Amino acid sequence: MNRTPTDPFLPPQRLLLGPGPSPVAQEVLTAMAQPTIGHLDPAFIGLMDELKAMTQTLFNTKNEATFTVAGPGSVGMDACVLNMIEPGDKILIARNGVFGMRMSEVASRGGAVVVPLDFEWGTPVDPAIVDAALAKDKDIKFLAFVHAETSTGVLSDGKALGAVAAKHNVMTIMDCVTSAGGVLIEMDAWGIDVIYTGTQKCISCPPGLSPVSFSPRAIEHIKARKTKVLSWFLDVTQVMAYWGGEGARAYHHTAPINSLYGLHEALRRLLLEGLENSFKRHRAAHLHLVAGLEKRGMEMLVAPACRLPQLNTVKIPAGVDDPKVRRTLLLDHGIEIGAGLGPLAGKVWRIGLMGEGARTESVDRLLAALDQIMAKEHA
Amino acid sequence: MNRTPTDPFLPPQRLLLGPGPSPVAQEVLTAMAQPTIGHLDPAFIGLMDELKAMTQTLFNTKNEATFTVAGPGSVGMDACVLNMIEPGDKILIARNGVFGMRMSEVASRGGAVVVPLDFEWGTPVDPAIVDAALAKDKDIKFLAFVHAETSTGVLSDGKALGAVAAKHNVMTIMDCVTSAGGVLIEMDAWGIDVIYTGTQKCISCPPGLSPVSFSPRAIEHIKARKTKVLSWFLDVTQVMAYWGGEGARAYHHTAPINSLYGLHEALRRLLLEGLENSFKRHRAAHLHLVAGLEKRGMEMLVAPACRLPQLNTVKIPAGVDDPKVRRTLLLDHGIEIGAGLGPLAGKVWRIGLMGEGARTESVDRLLAALDQIMAKEHA
């Protein structure tokens, strides 16, 4: 490629079956290409209100403090953790993969005292063990966990963990980056205080935004802080003056206008399909994939009961050259799948069936490509 | 509008002549609507390298640590300030508008000891006064200032302020949100250590990204920190493992793929036009506007020598209903201009001639609309 830096960029066509980003519908791409308007334009304020209503539906919550952070899911994590904790606060972080580890890092940089509770990668967070840990240390103020671990493909039980937290009167932070839109979230019914997600997984919108929601109790807690939130940009009380519904909107930051057009269209499509139908579609694609992999003698990492339909970790067969297979899939077949992370590096592939990618046709295309590659490998 | 939250959103057509976002070329919108690919795809890594090269040209720097923060300019500010300061560090912040004030807030939340140096809004930062302040307090480690104050329309002298900082051996952080692409920046020649900008001003890309650059000395300083950067997401040493050129890219966060397609196209267009030509175009539109306003008996806030071509603050004539005129301009004429902020609220309009908006035709359209509105007002 004899490119100069000022040649136009034309991306290759890929079928995105990795851990995100997921495939994006043409309607969402087209929505993003609409003309930019101002972040205080009455038409844009209307869009923000609709985004809020759709995000409330996505999370099954009535929380007023439901909005979109202008950064990818990692910024949503920063926003949720740093608003809730103050230096010296004790937070129990259940860790069963990369993103639980990352939450620990975020919380400890924010000055919290992290109480880690580790589970084997590939297994869910055990509510009974969390219960025991909370019973043992009455100073713990928060429980944080990852609903759907993107690094392992495991679903933890948000309802049970919410109930355990309620029993011990601690507030909950739930990472829903990979769960939202793919499996059920009932923020209010489960008693979850803080949720963040990303747009590039089951919502099938390009990466770069993080829808979040804070319960009234969480907002009260933030308003009663003794110290200021460490990041001015992420301070929820400030952001809400822009996103909130109380009269005039105060300028806080310049919202990512066109990205929010895309999110509006992606959520609109998801809700028109219906969340239940989306969950069913994810499940059907997942079962089709698992059957296809098992038929080929491959084995899933995670036990059936807690498998994420949208993120499938399959053990790499013995003797297979992991990087080579993924590279061939990407460059010769135009299909992206994900590598294992941390202790699972080289041991599993992560196959995402997220949002627009959760279709049995996508699964068939992947399996056919894998068959070809494996046949050549062993030829 | 009998909308339901799941109706598609169709933005109105606006001529954006406010303080940003600025008008976006169709080519940039179309680039953003290209299919999403993965953030570790070799094709995307190539795009990142080209973005880096073009951003280096934009800032006139050879800094390796030149990349794009995945959030709007406010996040760029957080990133630059929070990476440089550690709790207890003294930072001199020159404040002549909203964004200098915001930098103080960001730095003090990060635990720095802020030494504020205030200048009247509408005037530039005076290098002689900064010199005296740095001479008086040898514990000051950093000088931070805003190159182009979006709240007042004032350009400060980056070269002179860089020289003063060098004399006292303090490191410099320069806010270039509104300056980049509209007026000259010479990061290396002026000895500026840290720069952040936004995409939605003179680069004419939708809001949501913040190109930044750190000098080798700034990176050495960050690597030698005794405390971790407060935000995991913003930690430059981590981000550089993804953006940096040393071999394999480590996953840090999911980059905002499609927004970066847009930035690539916007920078490409800017560099094909040539920075000097862009500056000239901004200046021509500005002079045309000032002549038109003065012909109508209106007065500029800022002295000619330090007026920003891209952000024009004009005093609102006596007896004119500020909100009504801006509302009529927006809703009846489709033209957005900005209100005054802080002490200038109700006293000035902020007319942005940024990027694609910096054209004499846009100025003519604005002046004609203002004439109509004013004629009705006085009828």
CATH number of B15-21+274-377: 3.90.1150.10
Q: Looking at residue B6, what is its pLDDT?
A: 72
DSSP codes of every residue in A226-251: SS--S-TTT-HHHHHHHHSSSSSPPP
Cα–Cα dist A38/A256, whole Å: 10
Average pLDDT, chain B: 96
Q: Looking at residue B152, what is its pLDDT?
A: 98
Contacts of A100 in chain B (CB under 8 A): none
Please report the number of interchain residue pairs, chain A to chain B, with beta-carbon separation below 8 angstroms. 269
Q: Looking at residue B234, what is its pLDDT?
A: 93
Q: Looking at residue B4, what is its pLDDT?
A: 75
Inter-chain residue contact B43 with A230, CB threshold 8 Å: no
Contacts of A272 in chain B (CB under 8 A): 6
Residue B371 has pLDDT above 70, yes or no: yes
Q: Looking at residue A261, what is its pLDDT?
A: 98
**Mean pLDDT to the nearest integer, A222-244:** 92
Q: Do domains A15-21+275-377 and A26-271 have the same CATH topology?
A: no
Q: Where are the domains of chain B?
A: 15-21+274-377, 26-271
Q: To 10 degrees, what angle do helices A360-377 and A322-333 make?
A: 120
Interface test with B, best of A197, A233, A260 (most B CBs within 10 A): A233
Residue range A272-290, pLDDT digits in tens:
999 999 999 999 999 999 9
Of residues A13, A207, A8, the one with CA closest to residue B41: A13
Q: Looking at residue A247, what is its pLDDT?
A: 58
Q: Looking at residue A248, what is its pLDDT?
A: 66
- Structure confidence at residue A249 as a pLDDT band (50, 70, 90): confident
Q: Is B142 helix (H, G, I), strand (E, B) or coil?
A: strand
Q: Looking at residue A191, what is its pLDDT?
A: 98
Average pLDDT, chain A: 96
DSSP codes of every residue in B88-101: T-EEEEEESSHHHH
Cα–Cα dist B379/B376, whole Å: 5
Residue A180 has pLDDT above 60, yes or no: yes
CATH topology assigned to domain A26-271: Aspartate Aminotransferase; domain 2 (3.40.640)
Residue range B58-77, pLDDT digits in tens:
999 999 999 999 999 999 99
Inter-chain residue contact A256 with B206, CB threshold 8 Å: yes
Contacts of B330 in chain A (CB under 8 A): 41-42
Q: Looking at residue A134, what is its pLDDT?
A: 98
Q: Looking at residue B32, what is its pLDDT?
A: 98
Contacts of A256 in chain B (CB under 8 A): 72, 206-208, 259
- Structure confidence at residue A113 as a pLDDT band (50, 70, 90): very high
Residue range B127-156, pLDDT digits in tens:
999 999 999 999 999 999 999 999 999 999
Residue A118 has pLDDT above 70, yes or no: yes
Residue range B240-278, pLDDT digits in tens:
888 875 556 788 899 999 999 999 999 999 999 999 999
Residue range B12-31, pLDDT digits in tens:
999 999 999 999 999 999 99
**Mean pLDDT to the nearest integer, A13-22:** 98
Residue A320 has pLDDT above 70, yes or no: yes
Q: Looking at residue A377, what is its pLDDT?
A: 74
Residue A241 has pLDDT above 90, yes or no: no
Q: Looking at residue B241, what is its pLDDT?
A: 87
Cα–Cα dist B327/B374, whole Å: 13
CATH topology assigned to domain A15-21+275-377: Aspartate Aminotransferase, domain 1 (3.90.1150)
The alpha carbon of residue A188 is apart from the nearest alpha carbon of chain B, in Å, by 21
Cα-trace Rg, chain A: 21
∠ CA A130-A146-A303, nearest 5°, is: 80
Q: Looking at residue B249, what is its pLDDT?
A: 78
**Mean pLDDT to the nearest integer, A341-365:** 97
Inter-chain residue contact B206 with A34, CB threshold 8 Å: no
Contacts of A248 in chain B (CB under 8 A): none
- Structure confidence at residue A246 as a pLDDT band (50, 70, 90): low
- Structure confidence at residue A1 as a pLDDT band (50, 70, 90): low
- Structure confidence at residue B2 as a pLDDT band (50, 70, 90): low
Nearest CA in chain A to B87: A230
Residue B205 near residue B357, CB atoms below 8 Å: no
Cα–Cα dist B209/B214, whole Å: 16
Inter-chain residue contact A341 with B251, CB threshold 8 Å: yes
Inter-chain residue contact B257 with A207, CB threshold 8 Å: yes
Residue range A51-101, pLDDT digits in tens:
999 999 999 999 999 999 999 999 999 999 999 999 999 999 999 999 999
Nearest CA in chain B to A7: B268
- Structure confidence at residue A139 as a pLDDT band (50, 70, 90): very high
Contacts of A86 in chain B (CB under 8 A): none
**Mean pLDDT to the nearest integer, A251-259:** 93
Q: Looking at residue B248, what is its pLDDT?
A: 65
Inter-chain residue contact A31 with B8, CB threshold 8 Å: yes
- Looking at chain B, the whole-number percentage of residues with pLDDT higher than 70 is 98
Q: To 10 degrees, what angle do helices B158-167 and B127-136 make?
A: 20
Inter-chain residue contact B35 with A29, CB threshold 8 Å: yes
Q: Looking at residue A250, what is its pLDDT?
A: 83
